[in-house]
C-alpha cells in the first residue's frame, strides 16, 4: 500500500478546508486500494461542532454494511470523538499524517486493536503548526480548550 500517495490525497483535502477558511485537517477512506470517501474539517464552514475531517469523510463515504477492508487516512491524530467513531465502526487500520501538533488518541485506538501507522509527514506537520500559530483561538475551539 502506498501510504504517501493516499496521505497526499488527505493533505489535499486539508488544504481545501484551509482555503475555505476552516481548519486544515483532511481524511480519506480507502478500500482495496480505491478511495471511497474523502472529507475535511468543516466546523467553521458549516457551523457544526462535530464536522471534523474524519467525520466528513465517513459521511461522504455513505452507508456501508461494514468497514472490514478499509483504511482511514487522516492528516492529524484523531480526537476522542473521531477515535470513538473509528472503534464503533471497527475500522481496522488508521494511517496518521502527524501527531506532533496534537497527540490525539493513538493509545486508545491501539488498546482497541486498531492498527496504527504514524507517518510523521513533514507537510502535514508544518501546515498544522503554521495554522495553530496563526489561529490559536480557532484551534483551541476545535479541540475544546
74 Cβ partners below 8 Å, 6+ apart?
10, 25, 26, 27, 53, 54, 57, 82, 94, 95, 96, 97
Q: What pLDDT score was predicted for residue 67?
A: 96
Q: What pLDDT score was predicted for residue 20?
A: 97
Catalytic choice (54, 103, 133, 141): 54
In the residue annotation, 54 being an active-site residue is answered as yes
DSSP H or E segment with residue 139 = helix 136-142
Per run of 10 residues, the mean pLDDT along the chain (length 145 residues) is: 94 98 98 97 96 98 96 98 98 98 97 98 97 95 84
Amino acid at each position: 500500500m502506498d501510504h504517501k500517495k493516499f496521505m497526499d490525497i488527505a493533505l489535499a483535502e486539508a488544504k481545501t478546508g484551509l482555503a475555505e477558511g476552516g481548519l486544515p485537517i483532511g481524511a480519506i477512506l480507502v478500500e482495496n486500494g480505491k478511495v471511497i470517501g474523502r472529507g475535511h474539517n468543516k466546523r467553521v464552514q458549516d457551523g457544526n461542532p462535530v464536522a471534523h475531517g474524519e467525520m466528513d469523510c465517513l459521511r461522504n463515504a455513505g452507508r456501508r454494511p461494514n468497514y472490514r477492508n478499509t483504511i482511514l487516512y487522516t492528516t492529524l491524530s484523531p480526537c476522542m470523538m473521531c477515535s470513538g467513531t473509528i472503534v464503533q465502526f471497527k475500522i481496522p487500520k488508521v494511517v496518521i499524517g502527524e501527531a506532533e501538533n496534537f497527540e490525539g488518541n493513538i493509545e486508545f485506538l491501539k488498546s482497541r486493536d486498531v492498527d496504527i501507522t504514524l507517518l510523521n509527514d513533514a507537510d502535514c506537520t508544518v501546515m498544522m503548526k503554521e495554522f495553530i500559530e496563526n489561529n490559536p483561538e480557532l484551534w483551541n475551539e476545535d479541540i475544546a480548550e
